[in-house]
Amino acid sequence: MTRVLTPDICILGAGSGGLSVAAAAAAFGVEVVLVERDRMGGDCLNAGCVPSKALLAAARQAQARRSGVGFGVGETEPLVDFAAVGAHVRSVIAAIAPHDSVERFEALGVTVLKAEARFGGPDRVMAGDCEIRARRFVVATGSRPLVPPIPGLDAVPYLTNETLFDLTECPAHLLVLGGGPIGMEMAQAHRRLGAQVTVVEAHKALGRDDPELAAFVLDQLRAEGVEILEGSRVEAVEQADEGVALLVAGPGGSHRRVEGSHLLVAAGRAPVLTGLGLDAAGIGYGPRGITVDGGLRTTNRRVYAIGDVIGGLQFTHAAGYHAGLVVRSILFRLPAKENRDLVPWVTYTAPELAQVGLSEAEARRRFGDRVRVLAVDYAASDRARADRATIGRLKLIAGQRGRLLGAGIAGALAGEMANLLSLALAQKLDMKALAGFVAPYPTYGELVRRAALSYYAGMPANTWVRRTIRFLRLFG
């Protein structure tokens, strides 16, 4: 027998975006059905943000043992118990999991179905023994690791972010295919935990970021012993005596064979579309994901799509942002339009690499000579000097009348400083506002104020300013 459910909202996928929509709608007393075929919490909790940051934290502790000489603390090579590191990662996941659990969401009033979901038509979804006829649907099925069609790859064992955290022994030599954020984070983490690491990137490592700022990160990784092969394409993969080998075509027509014990494929993400029955629902899609308009509606007006499944900004916080827009539209009938310029991103290497709003290159393409770049090095921060964390730079991108267009940061706690700048961008603040806030001393946030103040660096030499000051002195 098929059960027919008629909720107000049906959500496909219990990752960050789907859970956010479900929790918000349920809080307002709206009837919600949430369908998830795998684990609650999605990729972020189980195989993405949470385990990767837990692993990076362990790696940071190991590196601290090697870096004490400048502080007068004896330097020592850490003894890494990789199985215990894995236990730490799993314990962090377990501590967060109840917040994303079936039990919690059922307690909120959400009907949770653990089943495969597919559209049976433009107005219904089939899940297990249920037919769901909702007023609105939200597709939030996320993404999965993209595995490129390289000859021989399917014949060797390889890791993705979905299997990497199951390792109980540190790889002797980890080969990383892809020099994006995931690849570079995991390269540094495993190097610090004792592995030899080689990264192979077909183009430029961290190529999405400001190259001037990315250079700080890449130089540090190389200094720690990570080999980074840029402009190098993997032509084939084959089995090797000790694991796996990559046949690499490098710059200038060079060729080399790179052998390692393990291979991590970190070549990007692909939206999860298979089996959803999108054609039956009249939902348009392509290789990059589901097609949506500015309000995140699909070509079927009853259906919204959010998060990784629409391509573009594949971040947990982007999915959360999308969820807020969709709730605004479905529940309150208010206009909602995605603005991707407002979504920051951070690569959690050491130093960290953060971007808010437009990069320098993007701003110059849009606004030309009206852009001013205000840069300050971390060495100008007293806190950075005290922490011996002077590697890095902060850049503010200012437009007409000093309005903040974007910011890029390479350095310690870049992700935390991005919070302030993300708020400033969303509120359309200018250099006057950023130069006028009071930052506690000594903090890294002072770098933001220092950079903003440099916008007015020419004012003391301005003739009219000097004349005004002389005139005002006549009044005592």
Residue numbering of the annotated binding site for NAD(+): 178-185, 201, 268
445 within 8 A of 382, measured Cβ to Cβ: no
Helix 82-96 vs helix 49-66: crossing angle, to nearest 10: 140
Q: Reduced to 3 DSSP states, what percent helix, strand and coil does the chain have, rounded to the nearest 5?
A: 40, 25, 35
Residues 6+ apart with CB under 8 A from 45: 39, 93, 96, 97, 100
Residue 351: asked if its preceding bond is cis (omega within 30°), the reply is yes
138: nearest Cα among 402, 349, 319, 361: 319
447 within 8 A of 417, measured Cβ to Cβ: yes
Please state the residue numbers annotated as binding site: 53, 141-143, 178-185, 201, 268, 308
**Strands 136-139, 9-12: parallel, antiparallel or unpaired by DSSP?**
parallel
200: nearest Cα among 233, 152, 236: 233
**Strands 32-36, 9-12: parallel, antiparallel or unpaired by DSSP?**
parallel
31 within 8 A of 9, measured Cβ to Cβ: yes
Residues 6+ apart with CB under 8 A from 250: 229, 231, 232, 256
Helix 181-192 vs helix 49-66: crossing angle, to nearest 10: 40
**Strands 404-411, 352-357: parallel, antiparallel or unpaired by DSSP?**
antiparallel
CA dihedral sign, ordered 81, 84, 90, 93: negative
Backbone angles phi, psi at 31, to 5 degrees: -75, 125
- Cα 471 versus chain centre, distance: 54
Please state the residue numbers annotated as binding site for FAD: 53, 141-143, 308
415 within 8 A of 346, measured Cβ to Cβ: yes
